[in-house]
Amino acid sequence: MTDMDTRRKTTESERLLEKAKAHLVDGVGSGTRSTRSGWLPSPVFVAEGHGSRLTDVDGNEYIDYQMGQGPLILGHRPQPVIDAVTETINQRGSLFALATDLEGEAATAVAARMPSVEVLRFGQSGTECVMYALRFARAGTGRNLIVRFEGHYHGWSDAIHWSAHPSLAEAGPADAPAVTPATTGIPPEVGESLLVLPWGDVEALEKAFDRHGDDIAGVILEPILGNCGGMMPPEGWLEKLREVTRDNGSRLIFDEVLTGLRVGPGGAQRLLGVEPDLTVMAKALAAGFPVAAIGGTAEAMEVVTEGKTMHGGTYNSNAVACAAVIATMAETGRAGFYEELVANGERLAEGLVSAARDAGVNAHWTGVGSMFQLWLSDEPPRSYRHAQELVAASPFPTLQREMLDRGVLLQPPQEGLFLSSGAHTGADTDEVLAVAREVMPIVADAIERGEVGPVGGVR
Ligand SMILES: Cc1ncc(COP(=O)(O)O)c(C=O)c1O
């Protein structure tokens, strides 16, 4: 077999990409699906998904570790959720913009899971619910400044899409990062409402609160860094954030868009034992249907409960969304669901590290079994900036391409982030590890030849 024979077929995907470009910007619906994000020679054009697997329009089959960028906690086309949604549509309708019993039922099911969430409202996207969290924090405290951390992603809004993944050239001093817009088109004055701090730096945190405490409305963070290398928080750091924000009367906001209902039954807050005032949830909340939520303590949400602060949306808690949430909570609420999900993922992570090391490539993994990142480097990352340095020397593009050619789908812009589901089996893990044992020597050769460097950076 020649080298070319091992490449997957992409002819039809490439044809569809060119055709779509006529009227769909760049031929894809989101920048993360673009060739610029590392999907080469063309984005995967999906024919259908089932369980842990995807088939593309060229007939290639993949075990999927992108899982819709996180939502597909039950795999593709989970029957109980599909049944609940179709039954709701057929028997009731899809949207009323009026109250239904389903809204309260869905809210009750979610609040029962998340320790700090007493009350909540549903929305459609993580971005939107993060914006509401910032609004509720400002309204509830009467203050303006929001503290955010370098490397964390909180959606694409003007309000917070700053210093998410800055280049090292624009990031400024490590102990006092620059407030840098993450895209063009954001009004510069919005940056004046933000303070960017390095993750895990107690001294920088205390200094910021000493100087600006009277004006700090809230601190927002990803409690486990799904968008920054799968890093776990440093020992005691979340507790420190809790203490400082409580003492200062500021809101602590957990962005659990990715971690909530994925890293465990009650998100990162239950796993790590720290309760924020406000929590944003999305993704695994509805197993693939577009649903997000903003919730919190009764006190932090009081501004909405009492009608002082606006919250609305035509599509909020529509019947389809609520049916999907209720069914997802029931399915993921089964005894042992998360234990199995996490254990399967950990076996995969350990096996990938062994396969790499056996081929002479040093490796580590970070995160939790259901959301972990594989690092082909001498050490795991300590910070956002360290992660960027590791990515710059990483052979991940070779790993991603060779795995994809052998039927294992990893998302290139996320540099080795594995998102799995309850539909991934032990047999899937065995198959992926067999593929990894074939691919790691190729990765070792790529390192030898100096073929390293970022696709999309760490994000
Ligand atoms: C932690 C986090 N917050 C917010 C968002 C934005 O959510 P959405 O894409 O639903 O707007 C994402 C999306 O990946 C995310 O991972």
Torsion of CA 62, 68, 69, 70, to 10 degrees: -110
Q: Is 345 helix (H, G, I), strand (E, B) or coil?
A: helix
Instruction: Using CB atoms within 10 Å of the CB of residue 101, give its burial: 0 to 12 exposed, 13 to 18 middle, 19+ buried.
Output: exposed
CA distance 194 to 197: 10
Q: Is 364 helix (H, G, I), strand (E, B) or coil?
A: strand
Residues of the chain with pLDDT under 50: 1-2, 457-459
Of the candidates 297, 302, 299, which has an alpha carbon nearest to the alpha carbon of residue 269? 297
Alpha carbon of 251 to those of 140, 141, 179, 273, 368: distances in Å? 8, 8, 21, 17, 26
What was the pLDDT predicted at 415? 79
Q: How far does residue 181's CA lie from ligand 1's centre (Å)?
A: 17
What was the pLDDT predicted at 229? 87
What was the pLDDT predicted at 2? 46
What was the pLDDT predicted at 221? 98
- Pocket-forming residues, ligand 1, beta carbon under 6 Å: 69, 125-127, 130, 153-155, 222, 226-227, 255, 257-258, 282, 292
> Please, what CATH class does the domain formed by 79-332 belong to?
alpha beta
What was the pLDDT predicted at 36? 87
CA distance 250 to 292: 23
DSSP H or E run through 331: helix 319-332
What was the pLDDT predicted at 1? 39
DSSP H or E run through 281: strand 278-281
Is 255 a known active-site residue? yes
Mutate which of 32, 37, 134, 154 for ligand 1 pocket (most atoms within 8 A of beta carbon)? 154
Alpha carbon of 375 to those of 357, 382, 419, 459: distances in Å? 11, 12, 15, 13
Written as one string, the DSSP assignment of 372-432 is EEEE-SSS--SSHHHHHHHHHT--HHHHHHHHHHTTEE--GGGTSEEE--TT--HHHHHHH
Cis peptide before 41 (omega within 30 of 0): yes
Written as six digits, the tokens of 197 are 């701090």
What was the pLDDT predicted at 458? 45
Written as six digits, the tokens of 108 are 């009750």
What was the pLDDT predicted at 5? 62
Sign of the torsion angle spanned by Cα atoms 207, 212, 216, 222 = negative
Architecture label for domain 3-76+336-448: Alpha-Beta Complex (3.90)
Mutate which of 257, 411, 459 for ligand 1 pocket (most atoms within 8 A of beta carbon)? 257
Q: Is 301 helix (H, G, I), strand (E, B) or coil?
A: coil
Domain boundaries, the chain: 3-76+336-448, 79-332
CA distance 443 to 435: 12
pTM above 0.95, yes or no: yes
Nearest 5°: the CA angle 201, 274, 138 is 75
Question: Beta 194-197 vs 408-409: how paired, if at all?
Answer: unpaired
What residues pair up with 396 in beta bridges, in sequence order? none
pLDDT tens per residue across span 337-377: 999 999 999 999 999 999 999 999 999 999 999 999 999 99
Query: Nearest C-alpha to atom 16 of ligand 1 is from which residue?
Result: 258
